[in-house]
Structure 1
């Protein structure tokens, strides 16, 4: 029987075209033998609709390994992180995250049954704990941002141009939209705005932050 060769891949991501991937790529080179096997996206982590990521996801096979610099590079949405980690677990692909030492342990010294059990345990930890951490951190950032804005408003501080006729629900809806929880079209319908008006409101609001 022909021996199946497993491969080692890497995945890196930044949120915009202006950001540099070099730091993440350099950190993965010591683990990924061929730099051509490091897949890169310059897109937001709010969802998993990213071309390089999806190419890699569809390419990996059982026994393969994917190295990632840190959990946030994989994604930021708890439910989707969980779905993707479960996908890799079921497929038998190991996810290793550089700033999480537990995921870097080499299990090859154990027999196949124990090795599989330990890898399963690590992937379960990633699914149940790390995805929650990513979501919690995002919630904390939103909370700190909102508290800072509210405190400044109480002191009479004005932020940029006034947001004309924005309802109280705008802040929550805007944040949900940025995180991919709702679509721009659904908010245009909700507020009765045209596309151009909606994006003008968004631009004005972002300047005020």
Structure 2
């Protein structure tokens, strides 16, 4: 029989872990609760990483208890990947705020655990996709609401600077190097080095220039 471990996290040192710890103590002993006071924006947290590496890492047959799914990560896509990771190594994740994950499974019916995990992962995938769509929509609406300058570009009302990446300009020796490349006197890689351009920028300018001279 595997071990049961709890994980609690708050974003800042000023926040209190007590509420999560009290809830987790109903299922695991306090000395088996791992904690972090760190942002949920990334996974590089000392406590959380100890669940994956070292003496206390979770292995097949273990159970991880968390109060809510965002304790793993505030990013739904990232949380989904973490659930898939634990599922792949045979660790069951029980989420106190999601009753279906808390059901006790009898021996021989482990397939129910996989079913619950798969449903949870699919739900998180759907939520993550909706969040991405909403963010993109809000960004587009925000840009559309910004004033347009005399140059036709939209400007931030806060910074007064134009929105978007600045246009790439042709280097002063562009025509010479471009012609050498077209004549196969130099490779594209060499042309990029001489012009000081990255691959995407080089081909973007090359395509635009080709259209221009046709």
Fold shared per TM-score above 0.5: yes
- Structure having the higher helix fraction is 1
Q: TM-score range by the shorter chain?
A: 0.5 to 0.7
Distance 2:30 2:18 in 1: 12
Per-residue deviation, 1:163: 3.3
Asked if 2 retains the 8 angstrom alpha-carbon contact of 1:103 and 1:122, the reply is yes
Distance 2:77 2:129 in 1: 9
Per-residue deviation, 1:14: 1.1
- Give the TM-score taking structure 1 as reference length: 0.62
Per-residue deviation, 1:135: 6.2
Task: State yes or no: 1:10 paired with 2:15.
Answer: no
Distance 1:163 1:87 in 2: 42
Q: In structure 2, do the counterparts of structure 1 residues 145 and 106 end up closer, same or farther at CA, with 3 Å as the change threshold?
A: farther
Deviations 1:149-200 (A, max 9, x none): x99x9xxxxxxxx733444359xxxxxxxxxxxxxxxxxxxxxxxxxxxxxx
Deviations 1:6-43 (A, max 9, x none): 111111111111111111111111011x2121111111
Q: Secondary structure at the match of 2:84?
A: helix
Distance 2:8 2:135 in 1: 23
Match of 2:119 in 1: 125
Q: In structure 2, do the counterparts of structure 1 residues 14 and 143 end up closer, same or farther at CA, with 3 Å as the change threshold?
A: farther
Higher relative contact order, chain-length normalized (CA < 8 Å, sep 6+) = 1
Contiguous gaps of at least 5 residues in structure 1: 154-161, 171-209
| Structure-to-structure mapping, 1:1-209, within 5 angstroms | 5-32=1-28, 34-58=29-53, 59-108=57-106, 111-112=107-108, 114=109, 116-133=110-127, 136=130, 163-169=158-164
- Higher radius of gyration, 1 or 2: 2
Asked if 1 retains the 8 angstrom alpha-carbon contact of 2:69 and 2:79, the reply is no
Contiguous gaps of at least 5 residues in structure 2: 147-156, 166-214
Measured on the aligned residues, the alpha-carbon RMSD in Å equals: 3.0
Q: In structure 2, do the counterparts of structure 1 residues 16 and 29 end up closer, same or farther at CA, with 3 Å as the change threshold?
A: same
Q: What is the number of equivalent residue pairs in this alignment?
A: 153
- Give the TM-score taking structure 2 as reference length: 0.60
Asked if 1 retains the 8 angstrom alpha-carbon contact of 2:77 and 2:124, the reply is no
